């Protein structure tokens, strides 16, 4: 019996998650990527698999499913990963109150705990001790080096499942069951469009009619810390608690947000919340900001990077703050409250897109659930 075939357009994290979910179900899969490697939002992030950012319920379960798939792939393919957990740090009573409420509601569903200042400092030598009141510790967050791991996942899928990758091959037209790159064409039983850029190029009218925008985020990387010094868990300031929907269960969150609106109006205007993660070579990834619109200034704003680093200094003490790199990423995001866009364009052609800033955290789980339910 002949295998069913599928074409996936886009070799970012959503495309790879789609390819994996199809391959494990016996499909013969081909992935087409317009560049010689993934260079978009999938490689321009913290590398965080971040269940704590998702509200308890279906999205948290999806995040944990993604985490388990990431863990399986990283273990099999010998991809560096660090199950390091996370710390959300409190330097004011209202921040600590939100953390206590969060843990009270969630402790039976997640491995999360309120730590006092002493226990927090025992978890991470990078935490600023001055004025520290405590923290939220979660063990469930995991870090990969996304700019390396995404390419390694592609190689893993090729080796284990014989997924065929066509690099430097921009798909310019879809006429089911065929996809075209100039005069060349390929065909498959099913076609999946998994890149925001390709969705916009291939279906411009639908893209404009969809309640979707683009988010630009600015990020930086600091040099490898000396003497193999490690920060331990990824670190987050209080602003992250008003950014992630998982914290909306806390009754005190609106009051905290109100204080931030008065104290940090410029940070909130530019969507700044501040986090830090560490890769295997000791470099620190820090950020980020959020600007929304269909077209973005290609030049980064230095004052945003300054706001990020100044706020980071309030809760983190690193050994070496020397800047190694700065960059920005752009990802599509739904504007109607939906967490993803899965739309059948015509029989046999489906768009999977719009996971926003949660691609690393949710994509493997989303695609596994989608294909399992068909």
CATH number for the domain spanning 26: value is 3.50.50.60
In a domain, 239, yes or no: yes
Residues 203 and 223 in one domain: no
In a domain, 344, yes or no: yes
The number of angstroms, rounded, from the C-alpha of 90 to the middle of its chain's C-alpha atoms is 24
Q: What's the CA gap between 183 and 163, in Å, rounded?
A: 23
Q: What span, in angstroms and rounded, lies between the C-alpha atoms of 28 and 17?
A: 15
The number of domains in the chain is: 2
pTM of the predicted model as reported, rounded to 2 decimal places: 0.97
Using the predicted structure, report yes or no on whether residue 105 has a pLDDT greater than 90. Answer: yes
Domain assignment present for residue 80? The answer is no
Least confident of 129-143, 194-208, 339-353: 194-208
For residue 69, being part of any structural domain is answered with no
- pLDDT, averaged across the chain: 96
- Bridge partners, 112 (sequence order): 138
**174 and 235 assigned to the same domain:** no
Do 197 and 112 share a structural domain? no
Judge whether 366 lies within some domain. Answer: yes
d(CA 240, CA 255): 15
Average pLDDT over residues 342-364: 95
Residue keyed to tokens 């809760």? 315
Could you tell me if 173 and 271 lie in one domain?
no
Residues 219 and 305 in one domain: yes
**Burial of 78 by CB count in 10 Å (0-12 exposed, 13-18 middle, 19+ buried)?**
exposed
Determine, yes or no, domain membership for 35: yes
pLDDT at 96 over 80: yes
Let me know whether 246 and 135 are in one domain: yes
The stretch 98-117 carries a mean pLDDT of 97
Q: How far apart are CA 281 and CA 275, in angstroms?
A: 18
1 has a pLDDT exceeding 80: no
Question: Cα separation of 172 and 209, whole Å?
Answer: 20
Is 370's pLDDT higher than 90?
yes
| pLDDT of 147 over the 90 cut | yes
pLDDT at residue 2 in the model: 81
Q: What would the pLDDT profile of 162-182 be if each residue is shown by its tens digit?
A: 999 999 999 999 999 999 999
Query: Is 34 in the same domain as 128?
Result: no
Q: Model confidence over 293-348: pLDDT tens digits? A: 999 999 999 999 999 999 999 999 999 999 999 999 999 999 998 999 999 999 99
Residues 89 and 68: their CA atoms lie apart, in Å, by 26
* Rounded average pLDDT over 281-289: 97
Rounded to a whole number of angstroms, the distance between the first and last alpha carbons of the chain is 21
Give me the pLDDT at residue 128, please: 98
Same domain, 250 and 312: yes
Task: Compute the CA torsion angle 287, 290, 296, 300 (nearest 10 deg).
Answer: -30
Distances, alpha carbon 261 to alpha carbons 179, 205, 254, in Å: 49, 38, 10
CATH of the domain at 316: 3.30.9.10
The whole domain housing 115 covers 86-139+212-334
Task: Tell me, yes or no, whether 163 and 297 share the same domain.
Answer: no
Q: Tokens representing 228? A: 């193999």
* pLDDT at res. 133: 98
User: In this structure, are 318 and 356 located in the same domain?
Assistant: no
Do residue 321 and residue 345 come from a single domain? no
Instruction: State the average pLDDT over residues 62-72.
Output: 98
Cα–Cα distance for residue pair 99/137, rounded to 1 Å: 9
Looking at the fold, whether 298 and 221 belong to one and the same domain comes out as yes
Residue 74 covered by a domain: no
Question: Could you tell me if residue 251 is inside a domain?
Answer: yes
């Amino acid at each position: 019996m002949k295998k069913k075939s599928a074409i996936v357009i886009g070799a970012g994290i959503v495309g790879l998650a789609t390819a994996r979910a199809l391959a494990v179900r016996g499909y013969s899969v081909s992935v087409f990527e317009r560049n010689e490697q993934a260079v978009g939002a999938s490689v321009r992030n913290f590398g965080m698999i971040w269940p704590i950012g998702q509200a308890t319920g279906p999205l948290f379960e999806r995040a944990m499913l993604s985490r388990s798939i990431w863990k399986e792939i990283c273990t099999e393919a010998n991809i560096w990963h660090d199950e390091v957990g996370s710390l959300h740090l409190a330097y004011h009573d209202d921040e600590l109150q939100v953390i206590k409420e969060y843990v009270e509601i969630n402790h039976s569903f997640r491995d999360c705990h309120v730590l006092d200042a002493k226990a927090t400092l025992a978890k991470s030598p990078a935490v600023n001790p001055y004025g520290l009141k405590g923290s939220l510790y979660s063990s469930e967050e995991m870090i990969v080096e996304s700019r390396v791991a995404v390419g390694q996942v592609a190689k893993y899928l090729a080796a284990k499942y014989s997924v065929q990758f066509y690099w430097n091959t921009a798909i310019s037209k879809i006429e089911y069951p065929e996809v075209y790159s100039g005069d060349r064409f390929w065909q498959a039983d099913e076609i999946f469009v998994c890149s925001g850029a390709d969705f916009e190029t291939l279906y411009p009218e639908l893209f404009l009619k969809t309640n979707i925008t683009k988010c630009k985020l600015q990020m930086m990387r600091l040099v490898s810390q000396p003497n193999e010094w490690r920060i331990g868990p990824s670190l987050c300031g209080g602003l992250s608690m008003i950014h992630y929907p998982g914290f909306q269960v806390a009754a005190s969150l609106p009051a905290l947000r109100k204080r931030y609106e008065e104290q940090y109006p410029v940070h909130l205007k530019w969507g700044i919340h501040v986090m830090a993660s560490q890769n295997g070579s000791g470099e620190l990834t820090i950020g980020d900001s959020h600007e929304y619109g269909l077209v973005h200034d290609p030049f980064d704003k230095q004052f945003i990077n300054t706001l990020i680093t100044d706020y980071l200094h309030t809760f983190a003490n690193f050994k070496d703050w020397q800047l190694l790199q700065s960059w920005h990423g752009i990802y599509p995001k739904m504007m109607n409250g939906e967490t993803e866009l899965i739309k059948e364009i015509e029989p046999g052609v489906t768009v999977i897109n719009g996971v926003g800033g949660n691609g690393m955290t949710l994509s493997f789980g989303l695609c596994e659930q989608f294909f399992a339910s068909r």
